[in-house]
Amino acid sequence: MTVERPDTGLPEAVEPGEQPHNGAYVPAAATPDGSAAAGPEQPGERERPEEPEQGERLAGVARPSSALGWLAFPFAVVWRFLFPKKPRPFLVELPFLVVFALVLAFLIKTFLVQAFYIPSGSMQNTLQPGDRVLVNRAAQWLGSTPSRGEVVVFEDPGNWLEDSTTSTTTSGNWLKSALTWVGLLPADNGDLIKRVIGVGGDHVVCCNAQGQITVNGVALTENYLYPGDEPNSGYLKPFDVTVPQGYLWVMGDHRSVSLDSRYHQQQEFGGMVPVGNVVGRADIVVWPISHWKTLPIPSTFKQVGLSALALPGAVPGVALVGTMPLALKRRKRRRLLAAKRATTG
């Protein structure tokens, strides 16, 4: 195809769809089906490149713009790493899921609940050898202290296990030890489990004329004891102790075989268990399924006389303290009324 150049008047050969030197556009020849052949791209017809995302991004997370944002930034990065926008292949995802599950199990075991294995019969029939119990650790982290009647797991306060015939040797199987440390298997690391009989300030005595243990002068009706056992079975010596603040007096439900606080009065802490040694409160028996049950506080520990409020003079004192805000409020109201009358008079 030829076009005439305006400056010389001479013809110039131009291919269809090509831009000639004079700037005039030559349309492309029609195709056999009647449509025009593609010409050169015109301004504005090109695809616009995708605009970059607003703000700089680090590890797939928007760069923080405040101090609070920087504090939350590591958690956002971990979250984006665990849950990416584009799913990863399963074989790539599997190791991350395993690590995440192990970390989650460890955190639950450390701060919330932990499974423990019962190796002996010192708590029969409440707990049987081989039972697995879930221990509530959150209460200890939140500052709660054990109460009378609770079943608690605690660390050996002073070589109590040396007198026990129960083996506490840690398993040599590294896989079992690792799974126990993470929290996927119940712990059997030499901790003890007993029932709290007295807390700080309590006066625990054995026994009264009926052979019962008394706490602050109130006799305990211990229906949870092993059949045939007496409150002081196995030890057979009277005792009279006052529990210091921050300590516990503990005893097993199977008294005739339980080497509890009674047997360690000549050792460090005088048979008491420091509250700081308590791992947590046993709440539920979860295995075997046939033994499933909760471990509530027996009703005998809910008697009115057991609490410090029942001590002579304590109830009137608490009542007096409770009425003080009301008395102060009424006194303030009388002053306001007197001031109002003086102003209007």
CA distances from 294 to 196, 239, 285, 286, 298 (A): 16, 31, 6, 9, 12
**Cis ω before 288 (30° cut-off from 0):** yes
**Which of 66-75, 205-214, 216-225, 309-318 is least confident?**
309-318
**Greater pLDDT, 75 or 259:** 259
Beta bridge partners of 249: 198
Please indicate whether residue 194 is annotated as part of the active site: yes
The model's pLDDT over 128-172, given as tens digits with 9 standing for 90+, comes to 999 999 888 877 667 778 999 999 999 888 888 775 544 444 445
pLDDT score, position 167: 43
The Cα 181–Cα 110 span in angstroms is 10
For domain 113-310, the CATH class is mainly beta
- Given a cut of 70, whether residue 343 has pLDDT beyond it is yes
The model's pLDDT over 170-207, given as tens digits with 9 standing for 90+, comes to 445 655 555 555 544 444 556 899 999 999 999 999 99
pLDDT score, position 336: 72
CB 105, CB 119: distance < 8 Å: no
CB neighbours of 314 closer than 8 A, spacing ≥ 6? 308
Residue-by-residue DSSP string for 254-282: STTT---GGGGTTSGGGG-EEGGGEEEEE
Looking at mean pLDDT, say which of 105-109, 165-169, 287-291 comes out highest: 287-291
- Given a cut of 90, whether residue 296 has pLDDT beyond it is yes
Q: How far is CA 147 from the centre of its chain?
A: 21
Helices (H) and strands (E) in the chain, counts: 5, 16
The residue assigned the tokens 């195809």 is 1
SS3 of 135, please?
A: strand
Would you list the domain boundaries of the chain? 58-107, 113-310
The Cα 187–Cα 182 span in angstroms is 10
SS3 of 129, please?
A: coil
* Helix 90-111 vs helix 67-82: crossing angle, to nearest 10: 120
- Of 120, 122, 256, 258, which is the active-site residue? 122
Task: Give the single-character DSSP code of 187.
Answer: B
- Given a cut of 90, whether residue 244 has pLDDT beyond it is yes
pLDDT score, position 183: 46
CB 103, CB 269: distance < 8 Å: no
The tokens for 61 are: 């997370």
The tokens for 136 are: 């509530």
**Greater pLDDT, 47 or 92:** 92
- Given a cut of 70, whether residue 250 has pLDDT beyond it is yes
- Give the pLDDT mean for 83-96: 74
- Of 109, 194, 258, 261, which is the active-site residue? 194
Please indicate whether residue 122 is annotated as part of the active site: yes
**Greater pLDDT, 5 or 84:** 84
**Which of 10-24, 190-204, 273-287 is least confident?**
10-24
pLDDT interval class at 27 (50, 70, 90): low
Return the half-sphere exposure (C-beta side, CA atoms, 13 A cut-off) of residue 219: 9
The tokens for 190 are: 């030499």
